[in-house]
Structure formats: structure tokens, C-alpha cells
């Protein structure tokens, strides 16, 4: 495959992003085996700048294809993509513009520029508009498998398209030692921001024990980071629920985050930062109303898919029978099983498109150890088996014919796992899939001390 052919594949993979002339040059010369140093010399650019152009291109492709892309594997990845494209063309898997649909396995966020991402108007438009406002804060709340990270990443990319520098932090990726104390956590926070903005960390200059970690952190962001970076920044904080497990840190960091947002009302420097937060549930650490970052900014609560959105996604998978009125009842039986949760719906549609399985068989086997959700269900079961109190509490929920009231922290932890939905203080199984599976596989001797 020649470089021009590979560039044509990039146009298919990135339909909403036109490569710059320099990006095309870097890609083509990497494809031909040149190093960044050789490309920099040929183009009269600094070596570090060319390396940065390449890094951002591989990062964009990694998000799109949901796998790690680098200059060392790009040739193999695109050749594999071309083969899959031809196979999809033979199978008739196209969308309206005749672009072949890549049926990536639905694990984790929907890749950027994926044709399998279904928008839920007006959510995306509102979030995209808000992130461009100086000093703004967008907070995305939804249980697991609802598409929080998929939306968060698209908000960040929208900011990048409008010349915002970006930082994305996932709190579930931090080492456990980072959460030992507030000072270690805030230093990790600042160091990661520096790394992603490609500025030299300078923590020791700004970190002063006499004024404390929070003031040092604030000074580092305002005086050093904003002083080193041209333009505005969007900072996306994902998986914030992982932070909630450490009350001593979250009770200090969350009010600090709130003060940064409020400072943007008075100080131009803080207006240069826009925040995007994603979390599965509310923090159970007691915070005063004027200290919480979760009652300010633009709230976005992600809903389940509608029937029409599921039909649209099914069509993109090449499942054309889902559009017919005569088949709505069958499709609704699947949606009732998984409560229209996007992540669970995606896995079902992938199985129907890829495997030799009928919808009736899929639904029958769904809550069993041989069904398509077996890995997901075993993962949740393993998480429960680490905590007998959660086992006991959830057993009560799945066996009760009515919603039940749980002890607040227990309810929070089950909601964080995505196992329950809360209506005021009343807990119910998040979907029939969970109720039927855990009815069979959890211990049957619950203790009333957890309700």
C-alpha cells in the first residue's frame, strides 16, 4: 500500500477532521520509513515539533480505532483496517453515505469519529456550546455503560477544534499510593497537567509547606501552568467516582475545584480554564452547598437510549429488520432486559451482527453464564464478592418485589457499580438482566442490618 492510499484510508477513518498539510507530510514520510529527525530536517521544523505533530495524529487514530497506534504499527493497523473494510463491503455493512461501518467490539468508550456513536440531542450541542465559554464547567452524571466517557472525549475534541489546549485525567488510573494524602494527590494532579500540556514540571518551585498543598496547587496552576501555555485550556476529569472512595482527599479537593470555578467570575486568569467532570453517582462525603462542584455549571444527566435511537444504531450494524414495525415487540423485549443502557445495547447489536445467534436466543441466554453478557456479569459478581455487605444489600434488592431503602453509603457503592437505580431513597435493580442473574448467583441469607 502506497502513502497516498493510506491517506485515503485516513479520510475514511476521520471524516470530520481534515488533516493539515504538515500532518499529511508527517504521515506520508513516516509511512515511507523516515524518522522524525529526518522529517524535521526535510521540512525545516524543530524535531520536537514534528514529534508532537506525529504524537497527536497517533493519539487521534488510537481513539478512533480503540487501540494503541504509533509510527511503528501504523502500517499493519491500516492494512488490517482495509481488509476489514472490504469484508464489511461484501457483507453489506454500510451507512447512508456508503462508508463501510467498522464494527469494533463494544468495550469501553465509543471511539472518536466512530460511525456507531449515536447522539442524544440536545445533549451534545449544549455541552459543545458550554465548553467554549470562559470559565465554564460541564458535569456529566450517569451510571456505568451510559456513555459518559464517550461524550466527555467528544466535548474535549470539540474544544480542541476551537483552539483549546486539553488535559484528560482519569482518577481510576492513579496509583493507590497517590491517594495516601492530599499533598501526594495534588502533586500528581499538577504533574499530569504539566505532562499533557508538554511543559516542564516545576512543582518544587511553587510547593511551599508553609502555605499548604491547596494554595501551592492553586499557585502552580495560575502562575506557572497558565503562564507557560498560550491560549485557553479544557481540563476533563473522568471517573471522578474513584476519587469519592477517599473521603479525606475528596472532602478537600472538591471544594478547591469549586473555588477555581468561582474565581473565574472575578479573575481573567481562571477564565482560561474550562472544566468537564464525569461521575457515576453523587459524592457521599458531606459537603456544604457552597463547597460542592456538583451544583454549579451545566448539569448533564445522560438518559438511556430511546427506541428510535436503538433502531438507528441497529441499522448502522446492518440489522435492517429492527426498523420494521412488525419487529418492534421483539426489539422492546431486548431493551426491557437491559433497560436501554447504551453499553449493553451495543454488545447485543454487535452479537446479532457478527455471530450466528437469533434475538430470541440472545435474550434467553442473556442472564446466564453462557450468554453474551457473561464476562460483564462475572466482573460485577467478583466486585460484590469482595464486600459481603454489598452482597447482602443487593440480594435484598433483587429479591424484593418493591423498591427498598438502603443505608446511604451502601446505596452509593451499588449505584457506582451500576447495579441499582435510585428514585429518591428507593433502590431497584438497574435492569432485568442484573435482577435475574444475581437472583441466582448471590448468597440467599441476607442480613437486615444493611437496610
Kindly report which listed range (78-82, 361-365, 393-397, 400-404) carries the lowest average pLDDT score.
78-82
Average pLDDT over residues 298-322: 91
Residue 431 CB contacts under 8 Å (≥ 6 apart), including other chains: 337, 338, 339, 341, 344
Of 116, 78, 81, residue with least CA distance to 350: 116
C-beta of residue 263 within 8 angstroms of C-beta of residue 270: yes
**Residue range 366-378, pLDDT digits in tens:** 999 999 999 999 9
- C-alpha span between 301 and 304 (Å, rounded): 10
Tell me the CATH number for domain 3-91. Answer: 1.10.10
Tell me the pTM: 0.77
Q: Characterise 292 by phi-psi region: left (phi > 0), alpha (psi -120 to 50), beta (else).
A: beta
Question: For residues 42 and 301, which has the higher predicted lDDT (pLDDT)?
Answer: 301
**Residue range 346-399, pLDDT digits in tens:** 999 999 998 888 999 999 999 999 999 999 999 999 989 888 999 999 999 999
C-beta of residue 198 within 8 angstroms of C-beta of residue 59: no
DSSP state at residue 224: I
**Residue range 138-185, pLDDT digits in tens:** 999 998 899 999 999 999 999 999 999 999 999 998 999 999 999 999
Q: Is 184 exposed, middle or buried (0-12, 13-18, 19+ CB in 10 A)?
A: middle
Please name the CATH architecture into which domain 375-450 falls: Orthogonal Bundle (1.10)
Alpha helices in 96-229 (DSSP H): 123-131, 148-161, 182-196, 203-206, 213-219, 226-228
Q: Give the angle subtended at the CA of 53 by the CAs of 51 and 56, to the nearest 5°.
A: 105
The CATH homologous superfamily to which domain 123-301 belongs is P-loop containing nucleotide triphosphate hydrolases (3.40.50.300)
If DSSP codes are grouped into helix, strand and coil, which group holds residue 71? coil
Amino acid at each position: 500500500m502506497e502513502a497516498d492510499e493510506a491517506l485515503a484510508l485516513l479520510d475514511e477513518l476521520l471524516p470530520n477532521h481534515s488533516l493539515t498539510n504538515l500532518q499529511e507530510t508527517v504521515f506520508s514520510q513516516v509511512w515511507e520509513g523516515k524518522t522524525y529527525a529526518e522529517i524535521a530536517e526535510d521540512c525545516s521544523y524543530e524535531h520536537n515539533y514534528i514529534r508532537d505533530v506525529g504524537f497527536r495524529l497517533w493519539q487521534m487514530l488510537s481513539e478512533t480505532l480503540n487501540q494503541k497506534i504509533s509510527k511503528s504499527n501504523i502500517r499493519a493497523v491500516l492494512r488490517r483496517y482495509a481488509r476489514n473494510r472490504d469484508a464489511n463491503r461484501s457483507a453489506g455493512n454500510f451507512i447512508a453515505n456508503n462508508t463501510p461501518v467498522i464494527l469494533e467490539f463494544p468495550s469501553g468508550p465509543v471511539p472518536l469519529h466512530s460511525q456507531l456513536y449515536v447522539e442524544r440531542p440536545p445533549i451534545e450541542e449544549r455541552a459543545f456550546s458550554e465548553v467554549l465559554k470562559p470559565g465554564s464547567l460541564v458535569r456529566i452524571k450517569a451510571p456505568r455503560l451510559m456513555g459518559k466517557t464517550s461524550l466527555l472525549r467528544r466535548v474535549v475534541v470539540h474544544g480542541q477544534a476551537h483552539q483549546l489546549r486539553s488535559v484528560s485525567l482519569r482518577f481510576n488510573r492513579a496509583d493507590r499510593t497517590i491517594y495516601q494524602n492530599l499533598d501526594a494527590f495534588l502533586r500528581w494532579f499538577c504533574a499530569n497537567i504539566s505532562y499533557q500540556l508538554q511543559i516542564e514540571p516545576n512543582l518544587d518551585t511553587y510547593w511551599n509547606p508553609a502555605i499548604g498543598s491547596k494554595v501551592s496547587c492553586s499557585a502552580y496552576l495560575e502562575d506557572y501552568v497558565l503562564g507557560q501555555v498560550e491560549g485557553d485550556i479544557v481540563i476533563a476529569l473522568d471517573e471522578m467516582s474513584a476519587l469519592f472512595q477517599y473521603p479525606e482527599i475528596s472532602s478537600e479537593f472538591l471544594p478547591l475545584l469549586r473555588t477555581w470555578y468561582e474565581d473565574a467570575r472575578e479573575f481573567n486568569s481562571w477564565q482560561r480554564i474550562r472544566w468537564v467532570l464525569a461521575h457515576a453517582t453523587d459524592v457521599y462525603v458531606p459537603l456544604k452547598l457552597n463547597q460542592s462542584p456538583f451544583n454549579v455549571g451545566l448539569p448533564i444527566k445522560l438518559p438511556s437510549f430511546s427506541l428510535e435511537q436503538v433502531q438507528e444504531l441497529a441499522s448502522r450494524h446492518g440489522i435492517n429488520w429492527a426498523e420494521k414495525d412488525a419487529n418492534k415487540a421483539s426489539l422492546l423485549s431486548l431493551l426491557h432486559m437491559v433497560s436501554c443502557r447504551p453499553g449493553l445495547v451495543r454488545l447485543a447489536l454487535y452479537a446479532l451482527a457478527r455471530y450466528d445467534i437469533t434475538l430470541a436466543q440472545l435474550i434467553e441466554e442473556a442472564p446466564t453464564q453462557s450468554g453474551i453478557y457473561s464476562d460483564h456479569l462475572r466482573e460485577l459478581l467478583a466486585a460484590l464478592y469482595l464486600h459481603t455487605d454489598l452482597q447482602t444489600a443487593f440480594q435484598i434488592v433483587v429479591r424484593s418485589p418493591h423498591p427498598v431503602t438502603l443505608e446511604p453509603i451502601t446505596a452509593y457503592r451499588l449505584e457506582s457499580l451500576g447495579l441499582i437505580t435510585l428514585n429518591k431513597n428507593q433502590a431497584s435493580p438497574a435492569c432485568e438482566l442484573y435482577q435475574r442473574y444475581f437472583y441466582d448467583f448471590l448468597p440467599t441469607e441476607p442480613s437486615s442490618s444493611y437496610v
